[in-house]
Amino acid sequence: MNPAVSIIIPTLNEAGSIKQTLDAVKNFEKETEVIVVNAGSTDETISIAKSFDIKIIRSLRGRGVQMHAGAKEAKGDVLWFMHADTIPELIAIEEISKALRRCKNNRRKFHRLF
């Protein structure tokens, strides 16, 4: 079964913050996929990320390039692009789901084109 939400985190030398971010997202109750897209970090970003059960891919530098690379790998129905220094609240996934349900009920649609 595909995850409901793919969390895509572009990184470059984020050792000072990535652990706290990954600690926060691992606690989400809903099915999520976490993808760290690294652009050649020279610090401990990769070794920190490897200590979590997540997907890590390499990309060229540039936030947009990294986001695109992560989106191409994502399996979720919803893509959530997150900065490496973000500490989301535990209710964030549920709030995203509620917002999307409201849009669905109002017949608005979001499409992923690749």
Q: What is the pLDDT of residue 19?
A: 98
Cβ contacts of 110 within 8 Å, gap of 6 or more? 100, 103
Q: How far apart are CA 92 and CA 74, in angstroms?
A: 19
Q: Which one has a higher pLDDT value, 3 or 95?
A: 95
Q: What is the pLDDT of residue 97?
A: 84
Strand partners, 6: 33, 79
- Across 70-97, average pLDDT: 93
Sheet strand arrangement including 78-81: 55-58, 32-38, 5-11, 78-81
Q: How far is CA 9 from CA 31, 60, 63, 80, in A?
A: 17, 14, 10, 9
The domain ranges of the chain are 5-105
Q: Regarding the domain with residue range 5-105, which homologous superfamily does it belong to in the CATH classification?
A: Spore Coat Polysaccharide Biosynthesis Protein SpsA; Chain A (3.90.550.10)
Q: What is the pTM of this model?
A: 0.87
Relative to beta strand 5-11, strand 32-38 is parallel
Q: Is 109's pLDDT higher than 90?
A: no
- Across 21-48, average pLDDT: 94
